[in-house]
Amino acid sequence: MTNNHVSKKNSNSLVQFEFETDVQEAYHFLRGNISFYERNNPLKTICVVSHSRCEGKTAVAMNLAVSFANCGQKTLFIDSDLRKPVYEKRLGSTDKGLATILFRNDDPNESILNAQVEKLFYLPCGRDVENTYEMLSSSRFRDVLDRLSKEYDKIIIDTPALSNVIDGYEIASVTDGAIIVIRNRFPETQRLVNMVKQLKMANVNIIGAVLNKVPMNEYRRKYTWYHDDWQVSRKKKASAV
């Protein structure tokens, strides 16, 4: 099992980045919690949403996909932000993608790329289209998801920010569950509350929230007692030797 994870800043590939142990452990925890959740509610398609841009939604979604793939699950990462593709620019021009599957009824398998991690695959969003909401709310999108669900163990969908467009709600409502990514120290709480209400109104199964971009020192102080204990004991052993 490898521990490759993704950095959003990585310019020309999806997976090249090595995080420190804390970050890797954080993603292991996230994947673990989703697995615990799955014992009662099986999840095949998971979408990752956030209120606004720059909350780290795409990085969380991609690293979660990597984490599942590292566990041996055949995982597909879908970039569903048809209005503002993220990985499109980094991977070079890819005409084919989700948009063309929905718009031209292309075969999904023709658009899916290998994401340089074993068992991880990537479906780009495709070329820019205008009537994105109509496409995403069509039965065709659900059919595509159903078909892909049969071929993959996990499908992680990166969505557009919910504050900007309605697309995210539409996508979330047809998936098995949604993870809300919240940037640490996000100030506009009421907007988040409204977003959660809106998601519930759209009958979205909210798996839970992910608090993202927590400063490392704060993270270590608040959330990693075990790790600290382990480090202290390791240092003690080293000094004893």
Partner 1 sequence: MGLKLFLKTAFSRLWLVVLLSVAAALCVGLFTAGLSVPQFESTMKIMIAGAEGEGFSTSVFDEIRSAQLIGADFSEIITSHSVLSSVINDTGLKGDVDTLKELIQVQQIQDTRILVITVTYTTQEKAMEIIDSLQRNFKAKLAAMGSPQSFMIVDEPMVHIKPNGSYYILYILLAAFGGMVLGITLNFILDEFIKRIDSVDITERLLGIQVIGVIPNSTLHRSDKNDK
Cβ proximity to partner 1, 95 vs 188, nearer residue: 188
Q: Which of 145, 162, 147, 148 is nearest to 206 (CA)?
A: 162
From the list 105, 215, 230, 231, which residue makes contact with partner 1 (rule: CB under 8 A)?
Answer: 215
Contact in structure between 45 and 207 (CB atoms under 8 Å): no
Give the shortest CB-110-to-partner 1 separation in angstroms: 29
Region near partner 1 per CB under 8 A, out of 6-14, 79-87, 97-105, 149-157: 6-14
Cα–Cα distance between 60 and 97 in angstroms, integer?
A: 21
53: burial class by Cβ within 10 Å (0-12, 13-18, 19+)? middle
Q: What mask of x and - would describe binding to partner 1 in positions 38 to 67, judged by CB under 8 A?
A: ------------------x---x-------
Residue type, 240: A
From the list 186, 198, 202, 205, which residue makes contact with partner 1 (rule: CB under 8 A)?
Answer: 186
Give the shortest CB-81-to-partner 1 separation in angstroms: 20
Structure tokens at 105: 């009824």
Q: Report angle CA 21, 41, 36 to the nearest 5 degrees.
A: 30
From the list 118, 134, 146, 216, which residue makes contact with partner 1 (rule: CB under 8 A)?
Answer: 216
Q: Which of 12, 21, 18 is nearest to 231 (CA)?
A: 21
Region near partner 1 per CB under 8 A, out of 3-11, 69-77, 111-119, 167-175: 3-11
Helix (H) or strand (E) holding 173: helix 167-174
Cβ proximity to partner 1, 78 vs 210, nearer residue: 210
Per DSSP, 43 falls in state -
From the list 90, 147, 206, 227, which residue makes contact with partner 1 (rule: CB under 8 A)?
Answer: 206
Region near partner 1 per CB under 8 A, out of 79-87, 94-102, 127-135, 216-224: 216-224
Cα–Cα distance between 37 and 74 in angstroms, integer?
A: 19
Residues 6+ apart with CB under 8 A from 241: none
Region near partner 1 per CB under 8 A, out of 22-30, 78-86, 109-117, 232-240: 22-30
Cα–Cα distance between 78 and 87 in angstroms, integer?
A: 10
From the list 69, 115, 156, 210, which residue makes contact with partner 1 (rule: CB under 8 A)?
Answer: 210
Cβ proximity to partner 1, 16 vs 131, nearer residue: 16
Cα–Cα distance between 181 and 54 in angstroms, integer?
A: 10
Can you give the binding site for partner 1, defined by CB under 8 A?
7, 9-10, 13, 16-20, 22-23, 26-27, 29-30, 33-34, 37, 56, 60, 179-180, 182-187, 189-190, 192-193, 196, 206-216, 218-220, 222-223
